[in-house]
Structure 1
Amino acid sequence: MKYYLLPLLLTLTLHAGHMNVAYGNASMNQFSKKDTMIVMDIWIQEIMKTTKHSATFFFYDSSTEMAKDFEERKLDLVITTGVEFVKSFEKSNLVKAFTGGSKEKHAEDIIVVLPAKKSLQELYSKKDPKVALQESEEIAMIYIEKNFFEKNKEAKIEYIKTRKRNAAILKLFFGKADAAVVTKKTFDFAKELNPQIGKKLKIAKLSTISARTFGFFHKDFNPEMAEEIRSFALAIGKSARGQQILTVFQTDKVVETTVKDLEPIGNIYKEYIALKKENNK
């Protein structure tokens, strides 16, 4: 199971209090809800053997409903995508928390991948470009559409949606798409598995827009408890048990998430909406 679920696990490892934790389904679109629930139950039961801490988990299909419950203080910690926070949550209610991260700073940033011999100009000139991306990864769609609005507003993008990001890379590799919009980490890993991918494909554009998940406490959640949980989470890799947890969730470390981290996503979303209205789409 990927690091998207790690913040849920970390909330159970200290402090004998209770917390309501919400997870947006948009953040786990590579996994089924059933599989997620099974994995989380196994790990929760393991950790609950040695702690009095309790937490109730809620999975939301609707970011609007999740934001509403957060606003009404039914939730203490929310983990979802940056786009979901930008679109549906009041920033003044958000307090820094944490999420899974990578050693490389830009590993989760969105990139545009093209065939090695093709250029962005050629991509933007197409009337019906085929773009491969992970199903439900809204930030990838927003990013590529904004670029087309600016370069060729007449283009009609045909999306080739895949269950996982690496599958989007393969669609491009086998000539089923004109471009793939994934994360840098995905492309780097694909090249390691198959060096031919690195020879046949290239990163044509690297953004500063992160596709990772973000976690935030509610501003009215017990500040001492929030700080204790956050401090523990950020230091989890220092223990053998913590390293085991990070390995299982396939993440390098736990990183702090702040409201400022959402600014690049908020900016591109505003620009995208403005261009969409301007082009009547």
Structure 2
Amino acid sequence: MRLLNIIIIFFLFSNILNAKENSSYIGILSEKIFTTQKEAKIAAKIWTKYMSEIGYENVFIKFYDDENVLIADYLNNKVSTILGTYQMYYKNKSIIDNVSKRRWIPTISKNTFEQFYLIKNVDSEITINNLNNKILNYKDNIGKIWLDSIIMSKYKKSVSKVFSEIIDIKKPQKLIFNVFFNKNQLSVVSKKLYDDMIELNPQIKNKIEILEKSKITFISGIGFTSKKINPYYDDMLKNIRKDIDKKGIIKLSPSINIYEFYDISNEELKPLDSFFSFYLNLKRKYN
């Protein structure tokens, strides 16, 4: 009986050690990737459950507000995978690349790169030369950055000093409807949202005008896998891709679907590098 107890204790202890040994931490720059803390928590819960279902236990998500802390923890191997913004990566390229074995983007539409529109009510007299004291709505931080580059080029001051109010919209549909019903408001929207809303309600196209279009250049987030990742999780991304091939998407929250995890090349990132070089130079001058 005593021998049986020893065997059981040894088995449990081995499992505990194995659980601690095989663990993976994912660090996410939450406020730049997700719209709200609630959305981030829902996505984390769904992701952890999903990883367990495909055979990867002990995958934990840590949320960060400060990109410098996220990068420091990545360098110190406190997190083995990170997801942040391209601006974060652009400013810390050599540091991040030096410790990463893989660079990838989670695509949230069927297209790899995103395009943004600046939209207004068709009956509004607003032009790109007449934005002072208007209200701006946005949801995607990268879309706001794109518009900020246009504003600084034209007005020699940042977007926050041109518009009377800038509203961070939580529900994407409101980006469209706020402009639909108000002549003094504009919204930055992704092409995907614009197209989806017109498909649901074709009348929108008759009430909304596109004032500016971005290039098809942008991404919502970029991820990295450390060279020091536990070998147990090394093929995790490959198996997630196989699962997406079978199911079509991973649904992370009511408004976020992942269509693909895509390894992106330096060549494909050149337009974004050019944009951020231009944008950060403008910020140094006018922000």
Q: Normalised by the shorter chain, which TM-score bucket?
A: 0.7 to 0.9
1:129-149 superposed Cα distances (whole Å, 9 cap, x missing partner):
432212xx4322221121122
User: RMSD in angstroms over aligned alpha carbons?
Assistant: 3.3
Q: 1:26 aligned to 2:34?
A: no
- Aligned letter for 2:26? V
More moved, 267-276 vs 69-78: 267-276
SS of 1:208's equivalent in the other structure is: coil
Contact 2:138 2:188 in 1 (8 A): yes
Matches within 5 A, 1:85-124: 85-87=89-91, 90-92=95-97, 93-94=99-100, 95-106=102-113, 108-116=114-122, 122-124=127-129
Normalising by structure 1, we get a TM-score of: 0.75
Contact 2:103 2:222 in 1 (8 A): no
Residue 65 of structure 1 deviates from its aligned partner by: 0.8
- The counterpart of 2:257, out of the listed 230, 251, 254, is 251
1:13 is matched with which residue?
A: none
- The counterpart of 1:209, out of the listed 217, 233, 253, is 217
Q: Tell me how many residue pairs correspond in the alignment.
A: 257
- Aligned letter for 1:19? S
- The counterpart of 2:130, out of the listed 125, 128, 142, is 125
Tell me, in whole angstroms, the C-alpha distance in 2 between the residues paired with 1:29 and 1:45.
Answer: 19
Contact 1:24 1:63 in 2 (8 A): yes
Q: 1:58 aligned to 2:65?
A: no
1:146 is matched with which residue?
A: 149
SS of 1:207's equivalent in the other structure is: coil
Tell me, in whole angstroms, the C-alpha distance in 1 between the residues paired with 2:48 and 2:175.
Answer: 33
Normalising by structure 2, we get a TM-score of: 0.74
Matches within 5 A, 1:1-281: 17-33=22-38, 36-38=40-42, 40-41=44-45, 44-45=48-49, 48=52, 51=55, 53-87=57-91, 90-92=95-97, 93-94=99-100, 95-106=102-113, 108-116=114-122, 122-134=127-139, 137-153=140-156, 156-158=162-164, 159-175=166-182, 177-203=184-210, 204-221=212-229, 225-226=233-234, 228-239=235-246, 242-243=247-248, 245-246=250-251, 251=257, 253-258=259-264, 260=266, 262-279=269-286, 281=287
SS of 1:198's equivalent in the other structure is: helix
Tell me, in whole angstroms, the C-alpha distance in 2 between the residues paired with 1:152 and 1:176.
Answer: 22
Tell me, in whole angstroms, the C-alpha distance in 2 between the residues paired with 1:181 and 1:196.
Answer: 19
Where structure 2 has 5 or more consecutive residues not aligned to the other structure, the ranges are 1-20
- Aligned letter for 2:129? Y
Residue 21 of structure 1 deviates from its aligned partner by: 0.9
Tell me, in whole angstroms, the C-alpha distance in 2 between the residues paired with 1:264 and 1:244.
Answer: 27
Distance 1:103 1:164, change over 3 A: same
Residue 98 of structure 1 deviates from its aligned partner by: 4.5
Residue 44 of structure 1 deviates from its aligned partner by: 3.2
More moved, 180-189 vs 156-165: 156-165
Distance 1:125 1:253, change over 3 A: same
Tell me, in whole angstroms, the C-alpha distance in 1 between the residues paired with 2:96 and 2:265.
Answer: 7
- Aligned letter for 2:241? L
Tell me, in whole angstroms, the C-alpha distance in 1 between the residues paired with 2:63 and 2:206.
Answer: 41
Contact 1:237 1:253 in 2 (8 A): yes
SS of 2:74's equivalent in the other structure is: helix
Where structure 1 has 5 or more consecutive residues not aligned to the other structure, the ranges are 1-15
SS of 2:63's equivalent in the other structure is: strand
Residue 185 of structure 1 deviates from its aligned partner by: 0.9
